[in-house]
């Protein structure tokens, strides 16, 4: 995988899996076929599966090395986790080997950051050891947005044990808290001089984006504020997984405007392959220019 530079820092994407998933009319309640077809020429085959039109998405971690710290942003699905989604159930993937191959053994990680606490962003927080879930990264502090954690904690109280986010809160978040490795943060928290956090609620109540800034360059790890590049062109298309459709659309537009204004390299959580890009204005909307490496 490609190593990108932001000043003196490096960023690298480590993929857990990549596959075609939902059809766009199922993914986006505001889907419009004509608007989708207008962008298909560049989306097929990398972002849209030929023939079926299913959206291609990857699940990956961003590895950030600032020189002072090694940071993982979002931790995918994890191994051995029991999930209702068959494609995500009981995985046994060499994700940690892939991390090691890019110079990131588990013990080297200083901070784990989750843009939000959905099942596909917390999985490698823990691994199974002698029947127990233990933190995968033994020397890391896990930074959870206070508002996000509080939301899912109260959902758990309401829905019951093992029910929240397909069980992931119980097997991938709570064991970290119980091991004393979690730090609940507000958006003014700065784990490293190069990192800042911004709130973009809507996909989930406490979704954050993480900015990396150095040497006059900035990258933004935006989690699921966008799932698919079609949302750059249609920022009002929130996904069916957004807890607040309107708020999510407002957050998405705000983030895209910020990317345009500051020439930010946008690094989302589910764009496949090597894809990250720069956002440009286009009419009342936006387009993406891929960062060629």
CB of 121 to Zn ion, least distance (A): 6
Specify which residues 13 forms β-bridges with: 62
Q: Which of residues 159-198 bind Zn ion (CB under 5 A)?
A: none
Q: Which of residues 210-229 bind Zn ion (CB under 5 A)?
A: 224
CB of 257 to Zn ion, least distance (A): 22
**Nearest-angstrom CA–CA distance, 71 and 279:** 25
CB of 238 to Zn ion, least distance (A): 13
CA angle 62, 221, 245 (to 5 degrees): 125
Closest CB to Zn ion among residues 9, 226:
226
**Nearest-angstrom CA–CA distance, 193 and 76:** 26
Specify which residues 197 forms β-bridges with: 210
CB of 57 to Zn ion, least distance (A): 8
- The answer to whether the beta carbons of residues 271 and 280 sit under 8 Å apart is no
| First vs last C-alpha separation in the chain | 10
- The answer to whether the beta carbons of residues 207 and 200 sit under 8 Å apart is yes
Cβ–Cβ contacts within 10 Å for residue 288, how many?
22
- Interface residue with Zn ion among 12, 16, 120, 166 (CB under 5 A) is 120
Q: Exposed (0-12), middle (13-18) or buried (19+): which is 126, by Cβ within 10 Å?
A: buried
DSSP secondary structure string, 155-199?
HHHHH-TT-GGGGHIIIIIHHHHHTT-EEEE-TT--SSTTEEEEE
CB of 200 to Zn ion, least distance (A): 14
CB of 133 to Zn ion, least distance (A): 20
Closest CB to Zn ion among residues 57, 65:
57
Of the listed pieces 35-43, 113-121, 161-169, 255-263, which binds Zn ion according to CB under 5 A?
113-121
CB of 22 to Zn ion, least distance (A): 12
Q: Which of residues 221-280 bind Zn ion (CB under 5 A)?
A: 224
Q: Tell me the site size for Zn ion, rule CB under 5 A.
A: 2
**Nearest-angstrom CA–CA distance, 246 and 81:** 32
Closest CB to Zn ion among residues 12, 224:
224
- Contact flag: residue 148 with Zn ion (CB under 5 A): no
Closest CB to Zn ion among residues 207, 214:
207
Of the listed pieces 47-55, 61-69, 115-123, 249-257, which binds Zn ion according to CB under 5 A?
115-123
Closest CB to Zn ion among residues 17, 134:
17
Of the listed pieces 20-28, 119-127, 174-182, 283-291, which binds Zn ion according to CB under 5 A?
119-127
Closest CB to Zn ion among residues 16, 224:
224
- The answer to whether the beta carbons of residues 144 and 135 sit under 8 Å apart is no
CB of 223 to Zn ion, least distance (A): 7
Please report, as ranges, the residues that interact with Zn ion according to CB under 5 A: 120, 224
């Amino acid at each position: 995988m490609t190593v990108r530079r932001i000043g003196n820092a490096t960023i690298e994407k480590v993929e857990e899996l990549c596959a075609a998933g939902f059809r766009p009319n199922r993914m986006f309640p505001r889907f419009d076929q004509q608007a989708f077809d207008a962008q298909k020429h560049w989306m097929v085959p990398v972002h849209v599966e030929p023939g079926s039109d299913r959206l291609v998405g990857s699940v990956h971690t961003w590895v950030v090395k600032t020189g002072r710290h090694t940071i993982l942003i979002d931790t995918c699905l994890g191994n051995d986790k029991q999930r209702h989604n068959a494609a995500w159930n009981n995985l046994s993937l060499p994700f940690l080997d892939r991390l090691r191959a890019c110079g990131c053994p588990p013990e080297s990680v200083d901070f784990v950051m989750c843009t939000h606490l959905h099942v596909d962003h917390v999985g490698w927080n823990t691994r199974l050891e002698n029947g127990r879930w233990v933190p995968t990264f033994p020397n890391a502090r896990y930074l959870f947005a206070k508002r996000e954690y509080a939301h899912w904690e109260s959902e758990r109280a309401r829905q019951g044990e093992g029910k929240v986010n397909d069980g992931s809160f119980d097997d991938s978040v709570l064991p970290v808290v119980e091991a004393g490795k979690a730090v609940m943060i507000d958006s003014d928290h700065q784990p490293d001089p190069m990192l800042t956090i911004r709130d973009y609620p809507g996909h989930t109540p406490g979704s954050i984006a993480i900015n990396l800034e150095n040497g006059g360059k900035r990258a933004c790890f935006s989690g699921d504020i966008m799932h698919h590049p079609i949302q750059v062109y249609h920022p009002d298309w929130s996904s069916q997984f957004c807890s607040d459709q309107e708020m999510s659309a407002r957050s998405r537009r705000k983030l895209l405007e910020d990317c345009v204004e500051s020439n930010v390299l946008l690094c989302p959580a589910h764009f496949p392959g090597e894809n990250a890009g720069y956002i440009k204005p286009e009419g009342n909307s936006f387009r993406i220019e891929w960062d060629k490496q």
